[in-house]
């Protein structure tokens, strides 16, 4: 896969989601990119941490801010395998992140259902690649869970 | 002040907000109560932690879940000095918290402006006591900041 493309970054987010899958977590992964460099990688850890706030995006925001020593992420891009929920979109608003790329849509819990205007007006939003793979991973997870 | 009343708990949240004030943080404080007992206390630490996700409510949710060893807070009550923002309301949704009591309203960034239905349908919401004190503390903070 060609480096430094949106496919490359979303695939890296998908790798994080696959780690979540293996660990029994709802498989969502995220990376945050600054100047072509991945500065944060995270996957959903709500089960392991017993913490509803431990979504991939939240952990990635905290990690990226920690890396930068600054809390605003204006020059950063988030790649996440599932449309952010209301909580994560609210956090992304505060971070003023430059771009949000998400793969699968979340019709039920995605932020757009609450209010598509939650994100910061400066944030550009893209439906990213690997939509089907990201959706399938989540479907497979719940199928396995029901067994 | 009489123990185990909503005034008592909100005053404890206000004490947390005053610590935030002293530490140069936007002064918002929160406590989470389980069976009349305060199981988590937190104040906004976005500056100190360089992290936009470090709102009082988020830290309190994580702390309460950690105390309980469980991530759902159905039997818990949150007391917070300011109306939760969209991010915090989204987190409170996931936590399925039993009650939310907030003091000051936040006309600009409060969750009700995004969508008053963000909280879990089971969560009861109350406008709590100490509204004026909580508002004044925030006004004093920004007045001091501008000097």
Closest C-alpha among A51, A94, A44, A90 to residue A70: A94
Structure confidence at residue B80 (pLDDT): 98
Please identify which of the residues A25, A57, A83, A99 carries the catalytic annotation.
Answer: A57
Closest C-alpha among A142, A132, A65 to residue A104: A132
Q: How confident is the model over A44-51, as a mean pLDDT? A: 97
Structure confidence at residue B115 (pLDDT): 96
Cβ contacts of A84 within 8 Å, gap of 6 or more? A55, A57, A92, A100, A102, A110, A111
Q: Confidence class of residue B2 from pLDDT cuts 50, 70 and 90?
A: confident
Q: How confident is the model over A45-50, as a mean pLDDT? A: 97
Cβ of A95 and B69 within 8 Å?
no
Q: How confident is the model over A89-114, as a mean pLDDT? A: 98
Q: Is the pLDDT of residue A125 over 80?
A: yes
Among the residues of A2-116, which ranges form H helices?
A: 6-22, 56-68, 86-95, 111-114
pLDDT tens digit sequence for B111-142 = 999 999 999 999 999 998 999 999 999 999 99
pLDDT tens digit sequence for B60-118 = 999 999 999 999 999 999 999 999 999 999 999 999 999 999 999 999 999 999 999 99
- Domain B6-142 fold is Cytidine Deaminase; domain 2 (3.40.140)
How many A×B Cβ pairs under 8 Å?
94
Q: Is B4 exposed, middle or buried (0-12, 13-18, 19+ CB in 10 A)?
A: exposed
Count of other CB atoms within 10 angstroms of residue A126: 12
Q: What is the pTM of this model?
A: 0.97
Q: Confidence class of residue A2 from pLDDT cuts 50, 70 and 90?
A: confident
What ipTM does this complex have?
0.97
Q: How much of chain A exceeds pLDDT 90, in percent?
A: 97
Report whether A85 belongs to an annotated binding site. yes
Query: Is B104 near chain A, with CB under 8 Å?
Result: no
Please identify which of the residues B12, B22, B47, B57 carries the catalytic annotation.
Answer: B57
Q: Is the pLDDT of residue A1 over 90?
A: no
Arithmetic mean of pLDDT over chain A: 97
pLDDT tens digit sequence for B46-62 = 999 999 999 999 999 99
Cβ of B94 and A65 within 8 Å?
no
Known catalytic membership, residue B57? yes
């Amino acid at each position: 896969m060609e480096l430094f493309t949106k496919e490359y970054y979303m695939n890296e987010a998908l790798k994080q989601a696959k780690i979540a899958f293996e660990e029994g977590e709802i498989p969502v992964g995220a990376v945050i990119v600054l100047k072509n460099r991945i500065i944060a990688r995270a996957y959903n850890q709500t089960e392991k941490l017993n913490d509803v706030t431990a979504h991939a995006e939240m952990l990635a925001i905290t990690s990226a801010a920690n890396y930068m020593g600054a809390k605003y992420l204006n020059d950063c891009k988030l790649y996440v395998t599932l449309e952010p929920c209301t909580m994560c979109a609210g956090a992304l608003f505060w971070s003023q992140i430059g771009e949000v790329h998400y793969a699968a849509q979340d019709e039920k819990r995605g932020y757009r259902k609450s209010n598509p205007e939650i994100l910061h007006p400066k944030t550009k939003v893209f439906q990213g690649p690997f939509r089907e793979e990201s959706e399938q991973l989540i479907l497979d997870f719940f199928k396995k869970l029901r067994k």
